[in-house]
Amino acid sequence: MFDFRAPKPAPARRFALVRYFSLTGLTAFVLVALVLTHFTRQQGQVYRDIQSEEAEHFRAVQHEFAQQQEAAALRDLLAVHESGHVNLARLFANALWQSDIAPFAERAAGVPLERCRTLPEAADAAKAQAAVERATCFAEVGRRILALPGYDALNAKVFAAMSKSTVFKVKVFDLRGVTVYSSERQQVGEDKSANAGWVAAAAGQPRSELTHRDKFSAFEGVVEKRDLISSYLPVWAPGSQHIVGVFEVYSDVTPLLDQIRLTSAKIEKAATANQDKVAQMSARNEGRVAQTSQEAAFIIAGSLLLLFGVLYLIVKHADGILAVQAQERERTHQDLAQAEKMASLGQMVAGVAHQLNTPIAYSHNNVGMAIEALKEIEPPLSAVRELISQIREAPGDYITLDIERERAQLAGMEAAELSAALPLEMLGDTLGGLEQMRELVDHLRDFTRLDRSRTAQADLAKVLHNVAYIARSVLPGHIRIVEKHEPLAEIDCNVSQLNQVFMNLINNAAQAIGQEAGTISVRSRMDHGKIRISVADTGPGIAPDVLPHIWDTYFTTKPEGEGTGLGLPIARTIVEQHGGKITVVSKPGRGTTFTVRLPVAAEPPAPELA
C-alpha cells in the first residue's frame, strides 16, 4: 500500500481574537477607568486649588482695601489737621505775634548759644560726656529764656487761648531753631535746628506726623495713651511772605483715630464674613463639581462598558466567521496540496509504468520465443522418452527398434534445432528483466511505504539515493542526475516527508531545465555538525523579481493547471519542523541551487497529518 496523503505544514496556531480582545479590552477599560479616576481627582484638586487661590486673593484684596481705606483716612486726617494747624498758626500769630511773641523772641535772641552748638552730640560712647555738657548748656539757655520778662504773660495768654481745645501743646522756635516758648517749660531752650520738621517749616513747607504717646504733658496736665498730630508750621509776618519763626502744634486725634480704627475693624469683619461666604460657596461648588465629575465618570464608564459589549459581540461574530474561513482555507490548502502530490504521484506512476513496461515487454517476447523453441524440440524429446521407456522395460540386455519409423519421426529436424541453449538464453534475459523490475519496485516501496510516516533513524545518503533512483525513472532521458554523497550521521527524521522535499526539489530542477539537455546535481555532506544537502540544476535560473516570492503560499510561475504554489512552502515547513533551514541561490543563466541544512540532534518533528 502507498501513502497518497499530502503532508501539510504544521497548522499555525490561530490567533485567539476573542481572548486577546477580551484581555486587551478589559485592560484598556481598567486603564481608562484609572485615568478617569485620576483625572477626576486631579480636576477636583485643581478646582480646590483655584478656589483656594481665589479665596486667598479675595482675602488679600479685602485686606489691602481695608488697609488702603485706613491709610487714606489717616492721610485725610493728617491733611485736615495740618490745614487746621496752619490756620491756627495764622490766627495765633495774628493775635499774639506782634504784641507778645515777637518782642519776647527778640529778647531771647540775645541769649548766646554758640558755645552750646560747638559741643558734640551723643554720637558714640566716647563723646557721651560732651553730649551731657551740650544738653546742660542748652538747658541753661532755656533757664535764661524763662527768666526773661514777658514769658509768664505770654504763657498765660497761650493757655487761655488753647484751653478746652484739642490742642495739647504749642511751641515757638526762632529762626535759629531754638525753642523760645513751649507750653511744657522743660523744653524751652532745646535746639531743633537739625530737626527735619523744623527745617521744612523754616523753608516754608508745613510738616506733620501722627504719633502715639503713652504719656504726654498737655495744657490740662499729663494725659496717657493718646494719638497726636504734631505739625511744624512756618510763621509769616502779618501782611508779608517773610518767615519770622516756626510754630509746633500738638493736637489730640485719639477719638477720630479710634473711629477710623473701628471703621477699619468693621470693614475687616465684613471682609471676613464675605470670605466665609466665599468659602461656603466654594465648598458647595466643589461638591457640585465633584458630583458632576463622578456622574460624568459613571456615564463614560457605562458608555465604555456598553461599547465593549457591542464590540465583543461583533468581534465574537467576526471570530466565528474567520474560524469558518480558516477551516475552508485549510481544506482548500489540503485539497491543493493533495492535488499537487497526486499530480506528482501520477507523473511518477507514469514514469514507473514506462520503466516497467520495457522489461515486461522484453520478458514477454523472450518467454514466447522460449515456448516456440521448446515446441520444436518436443518430437526429439518424445523419441528419447520412448527409447528410455523401452530400455527400462526390456527383459534382457537387448531391445528391438523400428529404425524406419524413428527415421520418419526425426525427418526434417536439424541438429541445431535440437539444442536447448537458445531457450536457456531467453529465459536468462527474462530473469534479468524481472530483477530490474524487482529493484524498481523495491525502491518505489521504500519511497512510499506507510511505516515511513513516523520518525525513525535514517541515513539521508541512502534516502537521497533512493529518491534519485525514482526520479531517474520519472524524468526524461535528456536530464541527467549526478549524485555525490559523503558519509553522513544518522538522524531522527520523518523519511516520508523528507522524500517529498527532495523529490519536489528534483522535479522543480527538471522543470527549470525544460526540454534542453541538462544536469541535476544531488550532493550531501557534513558541514559543521550539520547535514548539508544541495540540489543544483543547470537551468536558466530564477528571475530576481520572482526569487523573493518563491516561498509565498500559492505563488507559482507555472501555467494554470500545472502548479498550486504549495510545493516550496510545504518543503520549507517540513524542513523547519525538523529544526533545519532551506535556502536558495540563483543566478540568471547559471542555474539554481537549493540547500537544506538539518541538525544531527533535532527535536522529533510532528507526525504527518492527514
CA distance 278 to 124: 56
State the number of CA atoms in the 13 A half-sphere of 170 facing the CB.
26
Q: Where are the alpha helices (DSSP H) in 98-219?
A: 102-108, 114-118, 128-146, 151-162, 196-202
On the question of pLDDT at 50 being above 90, the answer is no
Position 610 scores a pLDDT of 35
Q: What is the DSSP string of 62-103?
A: HHHHHHHHHHHHHHHHHHHHHHHHHHHHHHHHHHHIIIIIHH
Contact (Cβ atoms closer than 8 angstroms) between residue 538 and residue 587? no
Q: What is the DSSP string of 398-419?
A: -----HHHHHHHHTT--TGGG-
Q: How far is residue 438 from each of residues 43, 433, 435, 467, 496, measured CA to CA in Å?
A: 90, 9, 5, 16, 21
248 closest CA partner among 282, 208, 292: 208
Architecture of the domain defined by 449-610: 2-Layer Sandwich (3.30)
Position 117 scores a pLDDT of 81
Contact (Cβ atoms closer than 8 angstroms) between residue 264 and residue 29? no
Report pTM.
0.42
337 closest CA partner among 559, 2, 4, 578: 4
In this prediction, what percent of the chain has a pLDDT beyond 70?
Answer: 80
Contact (Cβ atoms closer than 8 angstroms) between residue 190 and residue 178? yes
Position 14 scores a pLDDT of 64
Domain boundaries, given as residue ranges, for the chain = 1-111+148-346, 449-610
| CA 501-506-509 angle, 5° bins | 125
pLDDT (tens digit, 9 = 90+) per residue, 514-523?
888 999 999 9
Query: Per-residue pLDDT averaged across 446-457, rounded?
Result: 62
DSSP lists the bridge partners of residue 217 as: 222
CA distance 232 to 193: 12
pLDDT band at 368 (very low <50, low <70, confident <90, very high): confident
335 closest CA partner among 495, 554, 542: 554
Q: What is the DSSP string of 193-252?
A: TT-HHHHHHHTT--EEEEEEEEEEEETTEEEEEEEEEEEEEEEEPTTSS-EEEEEEEEEE
Position 58 scores a pLDDT of 77
Position 451 scores a pLDDT of 47
On the question of pLDDT at 73 being above 80, the answer is no
Place of cell 481608562: 32
Position 3 scores a pLDDT of 42
CA distance 525 to 533: 7
**69 φ/ψ angles, rounded to the nearest 5 degrees:** -65, -45
Q: How far is residue 225 from each of residues 213, 216, 228, measured CA to CA in Å?
A: 6, 8, 10
- Would you state the cell numbers that stand for residue 159, as one nine-digit string? 493757655
- Would you state the cell numbers that stand for residue 31, as one nine-digit string? 486603564
345 closest CA partner among 507, 581, 198, 152: 507
CA distance 86 to 95: 14
Q: Does domain 1-111+148-346 have CATH number 3.30.450.20?
A: yes
**1 SS3 class:** coil
Position 348 scores a pLDDT of 64
Q: Which residue has the higher pLDDT, 565 or 467?
A: 467
